[in-house]
Amino acid sequence: MGPFRGGHRATGTPQGAPGHPVIGVTWEEATAYCRWLGARLELPVRLPTEDEWERAARGDDGREFPWGEEYRTGLANLVDLGVGTTTPVGSFPEGASPFGVLDMAGNADEWTSTLYAPYPGAPAEVPETEDWAFDPHITRGGAFRHDRDLARCARRHGAYEEDLAAIGVGFRVAVSGASEA
């Protein structure tokens, strides 16, 4: 299944809602948590790379959304549901990825360890950097306040606003396999 263990993010929000994903976390705080957790578990815990995140969401068949080719309301916590905040982790089991990973779309936008750069072969008009981003690391998945475009497995961007709680930025941990460590 790759580097994701169990398909869950760290839970508990800054507001203390049990079972909800952590949001409002800077990239530096997320990587510090990974180091702390890794030392505690004696495992190589880290943020996933962008490629790892996409494969966990998309599977091997190149699907558009974690659950398939077509967007379907009710399979992820996005703005079309009108919830306006996070929901407990795993609330949308029918939206699981081909590997069974939950919440790869919606609820919280997730940090990756990858810095923004255009994909190889991108059109000339794609900028080399996202100077307007608050942080240049790629986030994936879309949050509760985003529309379905950001829930697409291939959609990528930096964190554009400084208020990371308001825009729903959180993280998911990855663990390197024995052959990668």
CB 125 within 8 A of CB 106: no
Return the pLDDT at 16: 52
Span 59-82, mean pLDDT?
96
For position 47, which CATH number holds?
3.90.1580.10
Domain encompassing residue 77: 27-118+130-175
Distance of CA 151 to the CA centre of its chain: 10
Domain for residue 101, yes or no? yes
Q: Which two tokens mark 134? A: 């608050």
CB 88 within 8 A of CB 25: no
The 10s digit of each residue's pLDDT in 109-162 is: 999 999 988 888 888 988 888 888 889 899 999 999 999 998 999 998 888 888
Domain for residue 41, yes or no? yes
Domain for residue 53, yes or no? yes
Domain for residue 9, yes or no? no
Q: How many domains does the chain have?
A: 1
Return the pLDDT at 121: 87
Domain for residue 6, yes or no? no
Bridge pairing between strands 135-140 and 157-159 = antiparallel
The 10s digit of each residue's pLDDT in 89-103 is: 999 999 999 999 999
Return the pLDDT at 140: 95
Rounded to whole angstroms, how far apart are CA atoms 66 and 37? Answer: 27
CB 167 within 8 A of CB 6: no
Domain for residue 19, yes or no? no
More confident residue, 163 or 36: 36
C-alpha dist (Å) from residue 69 to 47, 152, 153, 175: 27, 9, 10, 28
Return the pLDDT at 8: 36
Domain for residue 12, yes or no? no
The whole-model pTM stands at 0.86
C-alpha dist (Å) from residue 80 to 72, 75, 77, 103, 147: 10, 11, 8, 16, 7
Taking Cα atoms as reference points, which of 149, 144, 151, 150 lies closest to residue 167? 144
Span 33-60, mean pLDDT?
97
